[in-house]
Amino acid sequence: MTAPKPPAPAPARPRQFAAREASPLYASPLARCPLDPAAMDREDRLIARAKKALARRLAAPGAAIGSPATVRDFLMLELGEEAREVFCALFLDAQNRVLSFEPLSAGTLTQTSVYPREVVRRCLELNAAAVVFAHNHPSGVTEPSKADEDLTDRLRAALAMFDVRVLDHFIVGGASRPLSFAERGLL
């Protein structure tokens, strides 16, 4: 006599992400930080605390952007140590309160593909009134390329059709000061 076979499990459905959830394309440096304080040296613990404090101030839903310097510091900690190019967006409501900070694309050492259609879709899902873009240059050079300028122009044009303002686009390059397109007059 043989035992009956258990029923086959139902096929797993792909997970649907809520509008306020970040996409799982990439793990931020904060998420990759070792969580065991005993395994970290004093400097690493200090950096981890600084990242957590900035994340609470800026990336928490409902936090208002107080100054470009706060955004610059947050982006420097978030993207400065990336080994590949990552394109992110900080989505804001009409009062410049943070709705979400999300990576939109992760690429290779020298480039990443960003699709305006996907950026527009995410802005509409979050009901964003404004957005700040950021990406890193793993080389450490923060000068914008012609491709960076063209992408920013295409994103601005696409988002303008939906009344979403592009407030700035930062390029982060390791420990050097992040470059602001708005301060350079490129927006």
* pLDDT tens digits, 23-70: 444 445 445 555 555 666 777 777 777 777 766 666 555 667 777 888
Residue 116, pLDDT score: 92
Domains and CATH numbers, the chain: 29-184 (3.40.140.10)
State the number of CA atoms in the 13 A half-sphere of 106 facing the CB. 12
Q: Which residue has the tokens 């899902």?
A: 125
Please report, for residues 30, 90, 98, 101, the alpha-carbon distance to residue 133 in angstroms, rounded to integers and kept in the order given: 19, 6, 13, 10
In the block, tokens 């952007």 appear at: 65
Give the tens place of pLDDT for each residue, 71-85. 888 888 888 788 888
In order of 38, 83, 109, 114, 187, the CA distances from 136 in angstroms are 30, 9, 10, 13, 18
Distance of CA 118 to the CA centre of its chain: 14
Yes or no: say if 126 and 19 are a contact pair by the CB < 8 Å rule: yes
pLDDT at 69: 83
Q: What percent of the chain has pLDDT over 90?
A: 28
Tens digits of residue pLDDT in 107-155 = 777 778 889 999 999 999 999 999 999 999 888 888 888 998 999 999 9
Residues 5-23, mean pLDDT to the nearest whole number = 49
pLDDT score of 22: 46
Residue of higher predicted confidence among 22 and 48? 48
Q: Does 10 score more than 60 pLDDT?
A: no
Question: Diameter of the chain by CA atoms?
Answer: 81
